[in-house]
Amino acid sequence: MKQQIKHLCDLRPGERGVVDYIHISGDMRRRLLDIGLVENTEVICIGESPGRDPSAYLIRGAVIAIRKKDAKSVFLKAVL
């Protein structure tokens, strides 16, 4: 793939990535921090809902659904 994956929402089911930083403020930032999306956290995308949005991610042992527009604000260091 030519385009480099940078955001959490770009992960396809089955792919895994490492969090770099969150680029958003306010409630959503706190939410994302609460569920453990801090630097170097490993995230696996495990599926999409029937409507394609939100997607489900495995984060620190819990499966959490995040909407695309919110997942866009999570930047990834690397995709494994």
Partner 1 sequence: MGLTNRAVGRGAFDIGPKILKEKESDRVIALAGNPNVGKSSVFNTLTGMNQHTGNWPGKTVATAQGRCISDKNGYVFVDLPGTYSLLAHSAEEEVARDFLCSGVPDAVVVVCDATCLTRNMNLVLQTLEISKRTVICVNLLDEAKRKRIHIDLDLLSKRLGVPVVGCVAHEKRSVQQILTALDRSFESEEQHPYQVRYPEENEMSEEQRVAALYKAAEEICDGVVKSERALRDDRDRRIDRILTGRLWGYPMMLLLLALVFWISIYGANYPSALLSDGFEWIYQKLLALFYALKIPDALRSALLDGVYRVLSWVVAVMLPPMAIFFPLFTLLEDVGYLPRVAYNLDRPFQKCNACGKQALTMCMGFGCNAAGVVGCRIIDSPRERMLAILTNAFVPCNGRFPTLITLITLFFVGAVGGFFSSVLSAFLLLLLIVLAVGMTFGVTRLLSATLLRGTPSAFTLELPPYRRPRILHILVTSVRERTLFVLLRAIAVAAPAGLLIWLLANLTLGGESLLSHAADFLDPFARLMGLDGVILIAFVLAFPANEILLPIILMAYLSAGSLVEVGELGTLKSLLLENGWTPITAICTAVFCLFHFPCSTTLLTVRRETASWRWTAFAAILPTLVGVLCCMAINAVYRLLF
Where does this chain bind partner 1 (CB under 8 A)?
22, 26-36, 38-39, 41, 46-54, 56, 58-67, 70
* Cβ 2 to partner 1 shortest distance, Å: 26
* Cβ 12 to partner 1 shortest distance, Å: 13
Distance (Å, whole) CA 73 – CA 69: 7
Nearest CB to partner 1, comparing residues 5 and 53:
53
* Cβ 5 to partner 1 shortest distance, Å: 21
Phi first, then psi, for residue 4 (nearest 5°) are -80, 135
Residue found by looking up tokens 């630097």 in the block: 39
Nearest CB to partner 1, comparing residues 28 and 79:
28
Closest CA to 41 of 24, 20, 64, 69: 20
Distance (Å, whole) CA 13 – CA 31: 22
